Amino acid sequence: MTDSVQIGGDAVLTPRTEALRARLRLVAMALVPVVGALVLSGLVLLALGVNPLAYYSYVVERGLLSPYGVQATLTRMAPLLLIASGLIVAFRAGIWNLGGDGQFLLSAVVVAALAPLLIHVLPDWATLVVCLVVGAAVGAAWSVLPALLKAYQGVNEIITTLMMTFLGVSFANVLVKLAFRDPATTVPQTRTLAVADRLPRLFDTTISSGLLIGLAAIILVHLVMTRTAFGLKLRIVGANPRAAIHAGLPVPALTVAVFAISAALSGLGGAVEILGVQGNVRADWNPAYSLTVVPLVFLARFNGFASIAFVFLFSVLSIGGESAARRTGVPNFFTLVVVAILLVMLGITEYLDQRRRAAGK
């Protein structure tokens, strides 16, 4: 079978070849920013007097090759996958929910305060289930105001969700230092959930079973968004809200639903982080996972399975980067520099691709 046919002297690609080229373009659009970010980050390391090959080798050794590092990497993935699944729902529906950090942290603080109290009155499994549900509910509740303003007043959700993130982070710190503070400690923090009462480990390792929750969530979100009528409605709203209104879709209700689902998944990520790893929340703790996951979801083109791969890559970089930073004298936040460069490279790649497609028309 040929890959092109001849029409009027011009070669026309077959649908099969067109589909293959489209897939290759998507792969290139995902890999080029990653490779470019690693190269540019290496140049930054050179400017700092650090051997980039040594830095990256330490990253791979710690985050991917050592048994403890792999377990830490897989555990780190759990909240990131839940946040990514929430972002996929929002972005596919054309909604910019950038309030994930506030939803995540506020849910984490509430769960951290609630779990040590419930463990004395409920069975372990019931405590974990209740706290997971409460975490999701707190995240969803924190999105109500931006959802209503977007759905019924048309207020830009980027502004409102970022404002709610600022408020959520500040409110969470107030709760830790005042209402939920453990009186038995000198450093402001919530009471600590004992390791034995947290989410079970997998296969006699240190890997939290929260990883399974994260994998299940992102796969379910992918299937719902690509294989169900509800997902189709959300994609129509995201592609063309006016057309969705003319088609009779309840756009305001769907908008509120998207906010609730997206924020609930971010809140669930906060609950999983506390119940699976941290056990408590200290004052001023904010891992800022949500804004970090945004470029990973874009690189994956809102595909759940591809997002798993990029979250794994970032987790390796994050866990391995901590060890590499200590060995090479680079600041711990250099991983965020790599992510920032990745964002720039993603924007440049998108711009060049749009120009190429416009020139080809």
Global pTM reads: 0.90
- Beta-carbon contacts of 292 under 8 Å, excluding residues fewer than 6 positions away, are 80, 314, 336, 339
* Domain chopping of the chain, boundaries: 51-329
Q: Right CATH number for 51-329 from 1.10.287, 3.40.50, 1.10.3470, 1.10.600?
A: 1.10.3470
In order, the DSSP letters of 279-314 are: SS-BTT----HHHHHHHHHHHTTT-HHHHHHHHHHH
Model confidence over 161-204: pLDDT tens digits?
999 999 999 999 999 999 999 999 888 999 999 999 999 999 88
Question: What pLDDT, on the 0 to 100 scale, is given for residue 1?
Answer: 46
CA dist., res. 266 & res. 287, Å (int):
13
In order, the DSSP letters of 140-172 are: HHTTHHHHHHHHHH---HHHHHHHHHHHHHHHH
Question: What pLDDT, on the 0 to 100 scale, is given for residue 135?
Answer: 97
The three-class DSSP label of residue 100 is: helix
Model confidence over 50-82: pLDDT tens digits?
999 999 999 999 888 889 999 999 999 999 999
CA dist., res. 276 & res. 77, Å (int):
12
Question: What pLDDT, on the 0 to 100 scale, is given for residue 340?
Answer: 85
Question: What pLDDT, on the 0 to 100 scale, is given for residue 252?
Answer: 93
Question: What pLDDT, on the 0 to 100 scale, is given for residue 130?
Answer: 97
Task: Point out the residues of the chain with pLDDT beneath 50.
Answer: 1, 7, 9-10
